[in-house]
Each structure stands twice: as C-alpha cells, then as structure tokens.
Amino acid sequence: MGFESGSFSFHAFYLSRGFEPTEMEAFAKRALPPIKTLTGDAPLHGWAGPAHALDLDLTEEHCWRGDWLWFSHVTAQKKVPPSLLRATILAELEIERKARQVEVLPRAAKTEVRERVQEALLADAQPSFGSMECAIDLRHQRLLASAMTDAAAQVLCPFFRESTGVMPVMLCPESAAYRLCGIDCNSLELVNMTPNEAIGVPPEITLGTEFLTWLFYRWEKEEATFDLDGETCGLMFEGPLMFSGDKAPGCHETLLRNGTPLDTPEFGIALWNGKKLRRARLTLTKGDWICSATVDGYDFAFRSMKVDPPKKAKSATPDAVDEMPSLNAPGAKKPAPEAPGSDKLTVDERLDRAAFYVDAFLHLYKHFLTLREDPIAWKGILAKMGPWIEERAKA
C-alpha cells in the first residue's frame, strides 16, 4: 500500500535546501519518457505523478497536498521470464542443430541463437514497472520515500540530484547523530551495555541498536511519556522483537515473536549475552494521533506504518426513534444512513502523522545522544540498566 491508504513503509532523507511547490517543474522536465522508446532490456527512469506509474501530470496543482509535494520515481523495463527464455533457447538450439545436421553446435552458433531469441522475445515483451513513492515535507525539508533497500536508494538519490541539484542524505543513526548534535560516531567511547563480564567490549558502535535498547528500558522502568514542542506525547513497544550482536556467543540474532515477547525470559537472555534490540514495533502518540511502525535500529527504516484513526464502534442497539415509522408519511422507509468516510484521513493528513512520528523519534534520539556523548552520564545509565538486564535474564 502507498501513502494514500493502508500501511506504508519509508526511509526519511535530509535535504540540503528548501523546496517550493513551484519546483515541481524540475521533476516535470525529467518525467518518465514514452514507453514506446524502450529498446532491449535497457530501463527507463523518470518521475511520475501520485496517481499511477503512467501519471505524467507533474504540475504544482496536481502534486501539492497541504505541506507536501507528492509524486513517484518510476522505472520501466522489458523483461522476459527466465523460464520462458530458457525453454525457447533450448528449443531453438535443437532446431539449429538439426538444420546443420551436427551432433553438437559450435559455441559461436549457440551464442548467436541465444542473442537472437532474447532480442525477439524482448521485442514482444510487455514492460514491467517499479515505482517508489516520494513526498517532500515542505515544513521540515525532508524527503520520505519508499526506497527500502540500498539498491533502491542508490537509484533514487542520484536521479533526484540530477533533477533538482540536491542530493538526499538518508536519515540513519550516523547521519542523524551528526545533524542533531554534531557527533561523529567514531569518536564515542566503546562500552558494553550488558553487565555480563564474560562479554567483551564490542568492536564498533551501533548507535541505533543502543538507542532502541535504552528507549525500551526508559519506557519500561522510567517513563512512557515525553514532551515535544510543549505537548505531552506517549510511546509504547510491541513485538515481534529482534536482537542482534555480531560478537554475541552462539547465534548473532534472536527473534521473539508470537505470544508475549515483551515478557519472555529470552528477552533478558539476549541482552545478557551482549545482543541489543535491533527491531521492534514502536507506537508514538500525541493527542488523538496514534502512529505505529516497525523500526530498524541499523538504518532507521520505518516499516508498516499505521496512522489511520481507529474505527468508531457501532452501537449494538439501534436508536428506538430511528426505528419508528414517520408520522408524516406512514409506512415510509427509513432514510438511508449516511455513507461512512468522514474518519478517513486525506493523504496530507496521513503524511503529517508520519512527519510527527519522525520528529518524535528524532526528539527521543537526540535526548539519547546527549547522554551517550557524556561518558559520566552514560556510565550512570548503564549502572541502572545492568540490574534490569540481570533481572530480566533470570525471570
């Protein structure tokens, strides 16, 4: 599902300068070329509007939603199913062998047959489309994009720079630490979060997993609320939970799912053995806004985000007055109920909630960074987390 309905996944990117709605012209100049220009298996890249992969209306009026510019990056390419390609090549090789009346075709002949078959199949193949939804937050000057893999980001970011002159920088633990507090991760002290003396100090810092582990401790043992721009917000963790540690004894990843993963003894055992919380479902709230997503501590990817308001429960007993026949028109049918839909959020309202989620997440991350860069404060935090981890491991 995309930004408009259902759950959605995205990475956030920093932008080096401000954007205005009128700058949709830059994307329109690099719109997806006509599909008829596809030749061979070379892909076409371009921008498209938010409606669908062939929506070439990249005007300000069409893509501007509230404080957002909403569009997509589309890749079109002709592809032949591997099974069809292999079967056709084998059939043509056999025909060629019989025509030449030989036992084995020469290597050059086999190559010529393969190239001929592939070219013929590509000429008749239908194009396939790959689309990455994008939305520029005009208030915070950030880009949200459904580029969830490194390969997708390596396609999106250079093309974005070619179109606008701005290179998006992915919001990850390292880039966020530098942007928020000017912290170089390599300059921080290497420390172990577990009180288990048998576990050595990790060879490198993984700020994202340290942050999620600390945040879970804060939520469970200290407080589940925080202040954001003068408003009280809440947080809550849910499963499934993934723990990771490259130098942990035994397996390097532990996945807790089904049942009650937050209360299981394996939770504390994973922390005791040097693993840190890598992935969890985190819910952040503000007023009647309830936003939840599965967060990855390695790259700060936000997956399966839900932002729609909960559906209103229907009354079990109908209103007696509504069931009565009309006094003015005896026997008249009761008017049809109003069509639902007033609770459905528009795309800019959904994106506003996603922006709040990113803001709140970074607010908590910044608070963590202020503790992490202070050796004395951080050792004090670890001193409090130690008994908690030990208690969890023995539960």
Q: What is the pLDDT of residue 203?
A: 74
For 324, the 3-state DSSP assignment is coil
CA 243 centroid distance within chain = 19
Q: How confident is the model at residue 342 (pLDDT cuts 50, 70, 90)?
A: low
Burial class, 281, CB count within 10 angstroms (exposed 0-12 / middle 13-18 / buried 19+): middle
pLDDT in tens, 160-184: 999 999 999 999 999 999 999 999 9
For the chain, the distance separating the N- and C-terminal CA atoms, rounded to the nearest angstrom, is 40
Instruction: Name the helix (H) or strand (E) containing 150.
Output: helix 150-164
pLDDT in tens, 115-145: 999 889 988 888 888 899 999 999 999 999 9
Q: What is the pLDDT of residue 152?
A: 92
Note the pTM of the prediction, 2 decimals: 0.84
Residues near 12 by beta carbon (within 8 Å), at least 6 away in sequence: 142, 143, 144, 170, 171, 300, 302, 358
Asked if 135 and 68 count as a contact pair (C-beta separation under 8 A), the reply is: yes
**Phi (first) and psi of residue 60, to 5 degrees:** -60, -40
Q: What would the mean pLDDT of 216-222 be, rounded to a whole number?
A: 93
pLDDT in tens, 73-125: 999 988 888 999 999 999 999 999 899 899 899 999 999 999 999 889 988 88
Distance in angstroms (rounded) separating the CA atoms of residues 55 and 351: 20
Distance in angstroms (rounded) separating the CA atoms of residues 114 and 123: 14
Instruction: Name the helix (H) or strand (E) containing 136.
Output: strand 127-137
